[in-house]
Amino acid sequence: MSTALVWFRQDLRCSDNPAFALACNENETVIPLYIRDDDVMPIGGAQKWWLHHSLLSLQKTLAKMNLSLILHEGSALQIITTLVDELHIDKVYWNRCYEPLMIQRDTLIKQMLIDRGVHVMSSNGSLLNEPWTIKNQSGAFFKVFTPYWRHCLQHISMPEPATILHYPKGLTASAQCVTDWNLLPMSPNWAVSFEQHWQPGEDGAQKRLDDFINHHLTGYKESRNNPACDATSKLSPHLHFGEISPWQIWRALEQIKLNPAYDLPSTECFLSEIGWREFSYYLLYHFPDLPHLNYKSEFNAFPWKISDSALKAWQKGKTGYPIVDAGMRELWHTGFMHNRVRMIVASFLTKNLLIDWRQGASWFLDTLVDADLASNSAGWQWVAGSGADAAPYYRIFNPVLQGEKFDPEGLYIRRWVPELAHVLNKWIHKPWVATSSELGLSLGKDYPFPLVDHLEARKLALHHYQKIRKT
């Protein structure tokens, strides 16, 4: 009788899970396992909250199949070795991860298992395409998104859903409880409002997808840039934890195309966002130092500033620029930030405050519930100008103009910066222009003055950019 171990990682779902389905279909007994290995893949505070609830959700789903999720904390190599010996495991299944340290770890574990005579099967459970399969005409990897995504669309081949045809028996083994890991914040409980915004788990992911398709997909291309409008899918944290796969999303959108009234431009626009996630993993695979080193080496000479006070003001949403502060406060209260605003706050940190993009990336990893190492690193480098397919160095977001364009009535600002709730529209994006009597509050006391003058900061940033381009 064959006994299999299924190692859950960034694939916390049972439906359309290639590794899990294969293990169930090929074996009499299946042991689901999750390992918290902080030495290889530490997660931030916001994602600890999500992981706690996602694991509870997965446990409930597996329990309906009479399977018990085993939880362990520590070295994955040691834990799997011990379980293989103690439980007489014949086969081990997992879906691949693509972060550099996880690739190194998985390679070692796979070889160790093979040497012991254990069958190992790894599958693709989180990407549309394996990063090593997409190459340009010269056989090299793409460095620009548009030709990369065009190539993907031309060669895409949608697989059948991974379906469980045989339900195996479970096995009870000693394990930890998720509450033992103390993943939830306690004193203070800064995640108290998260439950108002999120439902971690496979069911929550499917509900989020259904809601987006039924209520927000039509008109998405136009409305997605308005942070006051609940127009985006908010599927990113579910994708990060693998509670839904990109193929599940893709198949759902293919069904939409059967409706002659469907919004083709919005559907294609949304799919391109899935494409950006793919491209980020693609870049990380081919440039493993993406989270730490400038993709463009000339940025190694950029004179980043070190200012703890400016960094903390940015983190707390007290820069004096309302659209920036609204974004940073939304992040703190919800573990999320609208994508347009992410670009604005990242540009402000790197091009107005001249603080190293790695400082911002680190803060996002700790505070975002959807912080992929790949997407986070690629996104910050794109905004900073140091990344692949990066915005031109001279593209520096003006936080006032961005606010006026994408939050014209200040609805987003008023929600997250309540001290400005009653400021007139003409002052809401630049309160320092008005007098105290016109504002109804005192700058420097009720709301901060701007940390920097945008136009002066822009000149300095351009000076530095032009200088490193000549070196």
Q: Tell me the DSSP string of 387-443.
A: STTPPPTT----HHHHHHHHSTT-HHHHHH-GGGTTS-HHHHT-GGGS-HHHHTS-B
339 is known as an active-site residue: yes
Query: Is 334 inside any structural domain?
Result: yes
The per-residue pLDDT for 427 is 96
The per-residue pLDDT for 308 is 97
- Average pLDDT (48-57) is 98
CB-CB contact of 10 with 242 (8 Å): yes
Chain centroid to CA 203: 19
Q: How many domains are contained in the chain?
A: 3
**Element housing 93 (H / E):** strand 91-95
- For 246-301, the pLDDT digits (tens) are 999 999 999 998 888 899 999 999 999 999 999 999 999 999 999 999 999 999 99
pLDDT band for 396, please (50, 70, 90 cuts): very high
**375 & 462 share domain:** yes
Name the residue type at position 341: V
In this structure, what CATH number is given to the domain that contains residue 50? 3.40.50.620
Query: Is 148 inside any structural domain?
Result: yes
**150 & 90 share domain:** no
Catalytic residue among 181, 304, 332, 432: 304
202 is known as an active-site residue: no
**353 & 234 share domain:** no
Chain centroid to CA 317: 21
Residue 295 CA to residue 389 CA, distance in Å, equals 10
Query: Is 173 inside any structural domain?
Result: no
Query: Is 198 inside any structural domain?
Result: no
**309 & 454 share domain:** yes
> Left, alpha or beta for 354 (phi > 0: left; psi -120 to 50: alpha)?
left
**81 & 142 share domain:** no
Domain that holds residue 231: 130-160+203-286
Residue 202 CA to residue 224 CA, distance in Å, equals 24
Residue 358 CA to residue 377 CA, distance in Å, equals 8
Query: Is 172 inside any structural domain?
Result: no
CB-CB contact of 302 with 393 (8 Å): no
Catalytic residue among 73, 339, 404, 419: 339
Which among 220, 255, 286 is the end of a domain? 286
250 is known as an active-site residue: no
- Average pLDDT (372-381) is 97
Name the residue type at position 334: T
Instruction: Name beta bridge partners: 35.
Output: 72
In sequence order, the 6+-apart residues with CB closer than 8 A to the CB of 186 are none
**394 & 341 share domain:** yes
Query: Is 179 inside any structural domain?
Result: no
pLDDT at 1 over 80: no
Catalytic residue among 181, 190, 250, 276: 276
Instruction: Name beta bridge partners: 3.
Output: 29
- Across the chain, which distance is largest between two alpha carbons, in Å? 81
**235 & 323 share domain:** no
**112 & 219 share domain:** no
The more confidently predicted of residues 399 and 260 is 399
pLDDT band for 172, please (50, 70, 90 cuts): confident
Name the residue type at position 5: L
pLDDT at 89 over 70: yes
Query: Is 166 inside any structural domain?
Result: no
Mean pLDDT of the chain: 95
- Average pLDDT (221-227) is 96
**456 & 336 share domain:** yes
The per-residue pLDDT for 171 is 86
Residue 345 CA to residue 364 CA, distance in Å, equals 11
pLDDT band for 175, please (50, 70, 90 cuts): confident
Which segments of 101-178 are extended strands (E)?
119-123
276 is known as an active-site residue: yes
**154 & 34 share domain:** no
- Average pLDDT (10-31) is 97
In this structure, what CATH number is given to the domain that contains residue 215? 1.25.40.80
Residue 448 CA to residue 431 CA, distance in Å, equals 10
pLDDT at 138 over 80: yes
SS3 for 298? helix
β-pairing, 91-95 vs 3-8, is parallel
pLDDT at 173 over 90: no
Strands of 119-123's sheet, edge to edge?
A: 70-73, 29-36, 3-8, 91-95, 119-123
**347 & 318 share domain:** yes
Q: What is the DSSP letter of 42?
A: -
**326 & 395 share domain:** yes
Catalytic residue among 73, 273, 298, 419: 273
Which among 264, 286, 308 is the end of a domain? 286
Query: Is 176 inside any structural domain?
Result: no
Catalytic residue among 380, 382, 416, 427: 380
Lowest mean pLDDT among 51-65, 186-200, 280-294, 343-357: 186-200
% of residues, the chain, pLDDT over 70: 99
Q: What predicted TM-score, i.e. pTM, was given to this entire model?
A: 0.96
The per-residue pLDDT for 391 is 66
The per-residue pLDDT for 399 is 97
The per-residue pLDDT for 390 is 67
The per-residue pLDDT for 471 is 64
Instruction: Name beta bridge partners: 71.
Output: 34, 176
Identify the CA nearest to 465 among candidates 393, 388, 364: 393
The per-residue pLDDT for 394 is 74
The per-residue pLDDT for 141 is 94
**Element housing 4 (H / E):** strand 3-8
Which among 231, 261, 286 is the end of a domain? 286
Q: Rounded to whole angstroms, what are the CA distances from 55 to 13, 227, 317?
A: 10, 30, 32
Catalytic residue among 357, 363, 382, 416: 357
149 is known as an active-site residue: no
The per-residue pLDDT for 257 is 85
273 is known as an active-site residue: yes
